[in-house]
C-alpha cells in the first residue's frame, strides 16, 4: 500500500481486527499519521456573546488541530480536489454509526459544488459509511476564507432550512472550524425551524 499523503510505500501492522476485516485497511503511513495533532479544547462561545447567534450552537467537538501539516492535507483535499483523501478520516467518523441525533453535513452552494465537483463534507461521511440528511440549503455563494473576522460575524444568514425536520436533536458536521460563522448560521436557522439541540463536530479546528 502507498500512503495517500506522502505516496511512500508502507506496511500496516498486522492486527486481529484487520485480519477479520472489522477494521478498514489503513491508507496513510504511520509517519504521516504522527504529524496529526489532537485538537485543543477551547471555548468557542466567547466570540458570539451578545450577537443574535449567541446560544445557537449548544456544543462543539473538534478532532484535529489545524497545524501546518493538516493545512496541506486539507489543501490537497479541497483545492487540488483529491477526493480519495476522504478515506484517511473514516475511522474518525466511525463512532457516528450509533449517533441518535440527526446528522447534517454543512452543504455547499450548487454553483460551488459544480466547480469543486464534490461536496467535501458529504464525502467524509460517505467514506465512513455514515448516513446523513440534508434539511439545509446554502443560499449565498461566498467564500468564508477570504473575509475578515468582522465581516464574517456580521454577514447575512448563509443558509435556509426546510420547515419540518425529522428529529429535534441535530449534529452538524463540517471540515474546519475557524471563526464559527458557518456553524452558527446553520445552527441559528435550524433552531428557527424547530430544532431543540444543535451540536457540531468538525474534523479540524484552528
Partner 1 sequence: MNEIQEFLTGRMWLREHTPFSREDIDNEINQGNITPYPGIQSSVKSLFAFTYQTNSCRRCGNQQLTPFNCAKCDGQCLYCRNCIRMGRISRCTELITWTGPFLEINQKVVFAWNGTLTLHQQRASDELMRSVKSNESHLIHAVCGAGKTELLFLVIAKILKEGKRVCVATPRTDVVLELAPRFKKAFPETEIHVLYGGAPDQKGFAQLIIATTHQLYRFEDAFDVIFVDEADAFPYSIDTSLEFAVNKAKKIDTAVHYITATPSKDLLREVNNRSVISSRFHGHPLPVPRFDSLWNYTKQIKKGKCPSKLKAWSDEKMNNLEPFLIFFPTIDLMMQASSLFENIPSVHAEDPQRKDKVLMLRNKQVPGLLTTTILERGITIENLQVAVVGTDESIFSSSALIQICGRVGRSSEFPTGDIVFFHHGISNEMDEAKYLIEDHNKVKK
Positions in the binding site for partner 1 (CB under 8 A):
76, 80-84, 113-119
Of the chain, the end-to-end C-alpha distance in Å amounts to 31
Which three cell numbers, joined as nine digits, stand for 103? 446528522
* 111-118 CB contacts, 8 Å cutoff, 24+ apart: 111/141, 112/138, 112/141, 116/78, 116/81, 117/81, 118/81, 118/83
Number of H helices, E strands in the chain: 8, 6
Q: Which is nearer to partner 1, 97 or 115 (CB)?
A: 115
Q: Which is nearer to partner 1, 21 or 80 (CB)?
A: 80
Least spacing, CB of residue 78 vs partner 1, in Å: 11
Q: Which is nearer to partner 1, 37 or 84 (CB)?
A: 84
Least spacing, CB of residue 181 vs partner 1, in Å: 24
User: What is the rounded CA–CA span in Å between residue 7 and residue 1?
Assistant: 9
Q: Which is nearer to partner 1, 111 or 151 (CB)?
A: 111
Least spacing, CB of residue 6 vs partner 1, in Å: 9
Least spacing, CB of residue 76 vs partner 1, in Å: 8
Amino acid at each position: 500500500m502507498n500512503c495517500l499523503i506522502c505516496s511512500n510505500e508502507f506496511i500496516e501492522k498486522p492486527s486481529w481486527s484487520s485480519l477479520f476485516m472489522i477494521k478498514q485497511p489503513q491508507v496513510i503511513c504511520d509517519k504521516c499519521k504522527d504529524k496529526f495533532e489532537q485538537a485543543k479544547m477551547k471555548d468557542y462561545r466567547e466570540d458570539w456573546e451578545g450577537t443574535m447567534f449567541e446560544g445557537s450552537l449548544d456544543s462543539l467537538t473538534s478532532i484535529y488541530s489545524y497545524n501546518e501539516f493538516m493545512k496541506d492535507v486539507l489543501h490537497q483535499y479541497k483545492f487540488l480536489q483529491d477526493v480519495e483523501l476522504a478515506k484517511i478520516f473514516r475511522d474518525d467518523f466511525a463512532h457516528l454509526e450509533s449517533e441518535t441525533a440527526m446528522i447534517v453535513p454543512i452543504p455547499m452552494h450548487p454553483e460551488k459544488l459544480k466547480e469543486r465537483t464534490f461536496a467535501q463534507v458529504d464525502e467524509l461521511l460517505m467514506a465512513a459509511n455514515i448516513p446523513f440528511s440534508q434539511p439545509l440549503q446554502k443560499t449565498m455563494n461566498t467564500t468564508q476564507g477570504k473575509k475578515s473576522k468582522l465581516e464574517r460575524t456580521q454577514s447575512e444568514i448563509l443558509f435556509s432550512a426546510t420547515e419540518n425536520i425529522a428529529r429535534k436533536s441535530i449534529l452538524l458536521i463540517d471540515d474546519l472550524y475557524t471563526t464559527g460563522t458557518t456553524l452558527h448560521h446553520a445552527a441559528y436557522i435550524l433552531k428557527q425551524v424547530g430544532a431543540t439541540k444543535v451540536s457540531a463536530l468538525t474534523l479540524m479546528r484552528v
